[in-house]
Amino acid sequence: MSVLVYTESEQNKFKKAAFEVASYAKAVAEQLGTTVTAVTINADDTSELGNYGVDKVLKVSNADLNNFNANAYAAILKQAAEAENAQVVIVGSSADSKYLAPLLAIGLNAGYASNVVEAPSSTSPFTVKRSAFTNKAFEISEIKSEIKIIGVSNNAFGLVENSGSAAAEDFSPSIPELGVKVESVDKATDKVTIADAEIVVSAGRGLKGPENWGMIEELADVLGAATACSKPVSDLGWRPHSEHVGQTGKPVASNLYIAIGISGAIQHLAGINASKVKVVVNTDPEAPFFKAADYGVVGDAFEVVPQLIEKLKTFKAQQ
Amino acid sequence: MNILVCISHVPDTTSKINFTDGDTKFDKNGVQFVINPNDEFGLTRAMWFKEKQGANVTVVNVGGAETEPTLRKALAIGADAAIRVNTEATDGFSVAKQLAKVVEDGGYNLIIAGRESIDYNGGMVPGMLAGLIGANFVNNCIGLEVDGTSATATREIDGGKETVSTALPLVIGGQKGLVEESDLKIPNMRGIMMARKKPLTIAEPIDAAIGTTSVSFEKPAPKGAVKLVSPENLDELVDLLHNEAKVI
């Protein structure tokens, strides 16, 4: 028996979320009195996983799998779960993890709870707390199957350091037919993605036009943040769809969410509500976002943002 | 092309979310139900395949009789037929099994579902359905073209998108981008009249094990009042974010 965790990497290096799911897996393993086995696919150095409680690493190296493929990755995890006699399988909340988890659930005949925000409140019955109704509520869900799959929400559990060492061994599972073949990828590799970001800087129609996004990008750069936008902005074509956050866009669960010139429609607030700290900058003190925010500045974005950039640069220089 | 569009019957995006029976059940009182937005983008794309490529489009929902107005709306938008699997949708695992039976019986080769419903946000039905029927699967789909049995799809990934090639039978987890918001159709009177004559079949459920069950619900703790910082004093904001919120 063990807890299996899929630790995602990109360009052979772990994503930050990999250490968070490893930390989560360690917490579950402690509850169950067992060990943590991580599965990595084309990650170079796996030793760092030991710092987050991983006892053993099953290392898959396969040049055919440099592009994510849900069928193949799910098949690898299924074989690893069987080899390790895993009772619980932990995945993250990236687009890729959410893509493979349901396929894995069918492969293992396992119940799957996604968007889980805390360690299990009980392991018998096995209950977890997950966000639902687009962050307007939490659901306490019991996973009834013998094998359980948990999808951990980003930035919900955090990193928990452990002084351990992870023993790596090569793992060569059989790879099924891919079924879906990647033809081309269109992705800015030098930018933090909304899914991985600890800080998200988001702007709305208050910016008046796409030509004014320079200061938003600069603010994001200073903070090491991802950029995002409201639905009207993506509908108007000012910014790409991939930046649209909210109920029908991408969910945001960052530590800090800064909203500039966004009034705060209920659908937008729902999508970003899982963020821990929210800051709003808006000229209209009646904008609904002020009711959802922790900190607010009533002011003109064109005056506030450049000043804030300067203040943050000074602050960063002092750190 | 024989298309099945999976329709989830969900509270309207502006709904207030409350619970009853000791916080164990969603409170439907005063809530208006709609076609799940992620499914509606897929339904509209299916209409495009019907008009341009002569596809046959059936919509399906797993749920009680109260979901029929939502299916009728999908018929009014232009679907040819509807199926309601007559059982409560308790969890994604069992819903996927019910849908797999519908696909098997109807011989559908393109199944379009939303990437997730906006109520339970499970995000599992399309992938589980694909796994059960052994079809190809593209999640977070924001573009789809079909030529014979070949398909080209665009998938949203974290930080961008990718183009993939695949083949029917295919399951799509769709979202905005499959069509634009401005392409969504509001049923007209003719559509509504015609929908009344279209078949809405009640299918009996199969015996399907569940994977998860809802124990109870909680609402987020009420939010404290916003702390306002003067635009003349942004040093204070930097200080609050660093020392109080500890996020920078």
Q: What is the pLDDT of residues B181-204, one digit of tens each?
A: 899 999 999 999 999 999 999 999
What is the value of pTM for the model shown? 0.94
3-state secondary structure of A18: helix
Write down the ipTM of this complex: 0.96
Contact A273 B180 (CB under 8 A): no
- CATH of A199-318 given 3.40.1280.10, 3.40.50.1220, 3.30.950.10, 2.60.120.620: 3.40.50.1220
For the packed helices A214-223 and A301-318, what is the interaxial angle rounded to 10 degrees?
A: 20
pLDDT of residue B222: 85
Q: Where are the domains of chain B?
A: 2-218
Which residue from B60, B64, B178 is spatially nearest to B125, judged by alpha carbons?
A: B60
Are A139 and B217 a contacting pair at CB < 8 A?
A: yes
The domain made up of A2-170 has a fold known as Rossmann fold (3.40.50)
Which residue of A8, A71, A131, A133 to mutate against B (max B Cβ within 10 Å)? Answer: A133
Helix (H, G, I), strand (E, B) or coil at B186: coil
* Contact criterion met (CB < 8 Å) for B213 and A103: no
Distance in Å, alpha carbon of B204 to nearest chain A alpha carbon = 23
Residue of A nearest to B120 (CA): A132
Q: How far apart are the first and last CA of chain A?
A: 46
Amino acid at site A113: A
Class of domain B2-218: alpha beta
- pLDDT bucket at B226, cuts 50 / 70 / 90: very high
At residue A5, the 3 state secondary structure works out as strand
A199-318 shares the fold of A2-170:
yes
Tell me what pLDDT residue B151 has.
Answer: 98
Q: What is the mean pLDDT of chain B?
A: 96
pLDDT for the residue B223: 83
B98: confidence class by pLDDT, cuts 50, 70, 90: very high
Nearest to A111 among B130, B142, B211 (CB): B211
The residue type of A24 is Y
Q: And the tokens for A9?
A: 């990497």
8 Å CB contact of A183 and B165: yes
CA distance A235 to chain B (A): 8
Q: What is the mean pLDDT of residues B108-122?
A: 97
Cβ–Cβ gap B223/A298 under 8 Å: no
Q: Would you state the pLDDT for residue A190?
A: 76
Q: Can you tell me the mean pLDDT for B168-188?
A: 95
Domain ranges of chain A: 2-170, 199-318
CB pairs A-B closer than 8 Å = 270
Please give the Cα distance from A269 to A252 (Å, whole number): 10
Q: CA torsion A157→A161→A165→A170, rounded to 10°?
A: 30
Q: pLDDT in tens for each of the 319 residues of chain A?
A: 899 999 999 999 999 999 999 999 999 999 999 999 999 999 999 999 999 999 999 999 999 999 999 999 999 999 999 999 999 999 999 999 999 999 999 999 999 999 999 999 999 999 999 999 998 999 999 999 999 999 999 999 999 999 889 999 999 999 999 999 999 999 877 788 898 899 999 999 999 999 999 999 999 999 999 999 999 999 999 998 889 999 888 889 999 999 999 999 999 999 999 999 999 999 999 999 999 999 999 999 999 999 999 999 999 999 8
* B161 to A186: CB separation less than 8 angstroms, yes or no: yes
Pick from A113, A137, A304: CB nearest B212: A113
Cβ within 8 Å, pair A299-B223: no
Which residue in B has a C-alpha nearest to residue A126's C-alpha? B212
Chain A residue numbers touching B12 (CB-CB < 8 A): none
To probe the interface with A, which of B157, B165, B210, B228 has the most A CB atoms within 10 Å? B157
Q: How far is CA A13 from CA A19, A22, A50, A208, B186, in A?
A: 12, 15, 15, 39, 47
Residue type, A296: G
Residue among A69, A73, A94, A112 with most chain B CBs within 10 A, to mutate: A112
Q: What are phi and psi of A189, to 5 degrees?
A: -80, -15
Chain B nearest-CA distance from A218, in A, is 16
